[in-house]
A and B are shown apart, each in its own frame.
Chain A
């Protein structure tokens, strides 16, 4: 909004200064014609002219900076300004022509007025072109170029100041200044980098626009110099641009740059297609590399590869064979049918042609002749490259042409690069997929671990006859250790410890089933072997092949001070007899749940019974404890477990547990466990 206002202000300033120029120049002219000293200082029109130039300079600067113009747009603006200037100038000529040889037409004031209009138009055209050329020259700027340009602009400013004041005319200063500016302009005119970025069509447009620009320049120069000449004949003093260093330098600069650009574009025309092709290659290359980030599937990477390769080497058709597994492969085609491409592949294989579809050493060798022997095929040239991912050949890219010898060395190189890049893209794509999969898996594990944790009881049954403590620590991977207690009656409490085979979500899932089974069956006060048989029956339908659950189930009767239990493949109970001060593992018979999937399971499970006495200790645990390893790859084992218990036999259940856990960590010398540890310690009172 603000720039818009400034642009308007500058335009107004331009108009006002021009009008002021007219109103000061004409009186001076009249005085000069009549050979009387003018009332107005002679330098005033010059100052006004320079102010006019300055306002135009900023006006066009802002106008050009405002719009995000491309090169052709810039040229178009210059052309349009020139067109307007020329049309107005021609209109004035027409008026002049219509007036004929009337007094008015030949009056010096009228001529001067026309001259001033033409001069204003020419200056605005020049400055417009100057600003546009500045933009073009500084398109790809270096520090040095920027400095030179600033030097050029400041020198022009100095020349403007020099002209403003009526310094006594010194020929050598004038010549040096003009010469310096022209040379600088010439050097700057060498910067034509923008031309390379034009495509074929844009180049033609630019040529036309530049030609017309040069024409307008020539025309306005011609008009102005004619008018100035005519005025000069009558009046010696008026605003003559012909001695104006700034205007002359800009005229030279603008003209030179226009002509240079025109010639450079003209000579660049024949090679444009090559440039365009290179540019397209780069863009295609980028497309392949970027496809990995944006595309959803490998398939689109393949399609982009095929499309870009075909278009880059101007092939008539192409296919991409992707190996899915040893027997299967998939073909992506472009301008060719599946059948045709498979025919060609078969034909090449049948004739045992080496070096086309595999990694041949020299791709430029004429192997296409073999195509000629395939009847009904329209293709006469073939170029193929294997695509590798991590050293494995995952497919072949083949490009076809109807011309014989259609592929040159350059094309071979490009396609080879494309195939390599595609291999990298696909590999990256696969890695990304894998990483995502891992992330999902981790997330899943986190949930499983949470589920598992929540399945373990927060509180264990309390009883006056015994104290009970449990501890469970799971490894990074979710395990399936489970323990629980349930009061069956006033004097009856049931206990369970179980270990689900396998890890991960399935283990957590089976664990939750085990919990359900325990809570529903334990309440019904079954004998332990009956409990196991029923649990087995229930689990048969949900445990997959190869999965099983080891468990021990206990019913403590505090009234009779007896424990009845069944061991279904779980680690043997470690028992401390306080009276005899001895330790024992209950190695009873019993196979894990899910191992026998029919009624005969009852033959493999039994209920055992023993009495407990005060200070006896029962240690239940999972194999994570006995199989815990130290750095020497030794297992914690049954003996160490028994010895650990003996060390603290007199302490409370909680203390025994703490001791056992710390012993275990000391032994394994790490906090990173690789299996689940679970213990449940019962100390009788």
Chain B
């Protein structure tokens, strides 16, 4: 189960993920990002500090936006991952394709 909260800070859309993302809840993540893009945000911060688990389907959601964001010049930064989640990103090599910050402060710097 995943709980997604969105709020805006300094012109960036902050998407906070709370809980676990598996195959079924990955759809919600996809919808949240799509909504943010649809609303015209060019800076998206994903708060993963309360994200406990992410399955390959969830990673696939992030992956699927990489090219679209490059084309539309949208920046997305993920931050606050716990060790386990970070490891999942690393194993797949997604850390090389996505911008990942330690915390919100660093993430905000990265997105500028």
Min distance, Cβ A480 to any Cβ of chain B, angstroms: 10
Contact bitstring B66-83, A, C-beta under 8 A = 1, else 0:
110000000000000000
Contact bitstring B12-28, A, C-beta under 8 A = 1, else 0:
00000000000100000
Check A595 against B23 for contact (C-beta < 8 Å). Answer: no
Check B23 against A502 for contact (C-beta < 8 Å). Answer: yes
Check A592 against B93 for contact (C-beta < 8 Å). Answer: yes
Q: Chain A contacts of B92 at CB under 8 A?
A: 548, 550, 569, 591-592, 595
**B106 at the A interface (CB under 8 A):** no
Please classify the interface of chain B as helix (H, G, I), strand (E, B), loop, or mixed, using the class held by over half of its residues: helix
Task: Choose one: B30, B61, B90, B97; the contact of A596 (CB below 8 Å).
Answer: B97
Nearest B-chain residue to A598, judged by Cβ:
B67
Check A548 against B96 for contact (C-beta < 8 Å). Answer: no
- How far, in whole Å, are A60 and B60 apart by their CA atoms in the complex? 85
Check B91 against A595 for contact (C-beta < 8 Å). Answer: no
Min distance, Cβ A626 to any Cβ of chain B, angstroms: 10
Check B94 against A545 for contact (C-beta < 8 Å). Answer: no
Min distance, Cβ A591 to any Cβ of chain B, angstroms: 3
Interface size counted on chain B using CB atoms at 8 A: 19
Min distance, Cβ A579 to any Cβ of chain B, angstroms: 27
**B102 at the A interface (CB under 8 A):** no
Check A597 against B57 for contact (C-beta < 8 Å). Answer: no
- How far, in whole Å, are A503 and B56 apart by their CA atoms in the complex? 10
Min distance, Cβ B62 to any Cβ of chain A, angstroms: 9
**B63 at the A interface (CB under 8 A):** yes
Check A546 against B67 for contact (C-beta < 8 Å). Answer: no
- How far, in whole Å, are A550 and B56 apart by their CA atoms in the complex? 10
Check B60 against A569 for contact (C-beta < 8 Å). Answer: no
Question: Using a CB-CB cutoff of 8 Å, which residues 556-573 of chain A contact chain B?
Answer: 568-572
Check A548 against B23 for contact (C-beta < 8 Å). Answer: no
Min distance, Cβ A475 to any Cβ of chain B, angstroms: 12
Q: Chain B contacts of A587 at CB under 8 A?
A: 90
- How far, in whole Å, are A469 and B60 apart by their CA atoms in the complex? 31
**A501 at the B interface (CB under 8 A):** yes
- How far, in whole Å, are A547 and B61 apart by their CA atoms in the complex? 9
Check A591 against B93 for contact (C-beta < 8 Å). Answer: yes
Task: Choose one: A501, A503, A591; the contact of B96 (CB below 8 Å).
Answer: A591
- How far, in whole Å, are A499 and B63 apart by their CA atoms in the complex? 16
Nearest B-chain residue to A502, judged by Cβ:
B57
Task: Choose one: B57, B64, B94; the contact of A591 (CB below 8 Å).
Answer: B94
Nearest A-chain residue to B93, judged by Cβ:
A591
**A589 at the B interface (CB under 8 A):** yes
Check B23 against A604 for contact (C-beta < 8 Å). Answer: no
Q: Chain B contacts of A503 at CB under 8 A?
A: 23
16 A–B contacts from the bound complex (CB under 8 Å): A502-B56, A545-B64, A546-B57, A548-B60, A548-B63, A548-B92, A550-B91, A568-B93, A569-B91, A571-B91, A572-B91, A587-B90, A589-B93, A591-B96, A592-B93, A635-B84
Please give 13 more A-B residue pairs, beta carbons under 8 A apart, in addition to A546-B60, A548-B59, A592-B92.
A501-B60, A502-B56, A503-B23, A546-B63, A548-B60, A548-B63, A550-B56, A550-B91, A550-B92, A570-B91, A587-B90, A591-B96, A595-B94
Counting from the closest, the 4 A-B pairs by CB-CB distance are A591-B93, A546-B60, A569-B92, A546-B64
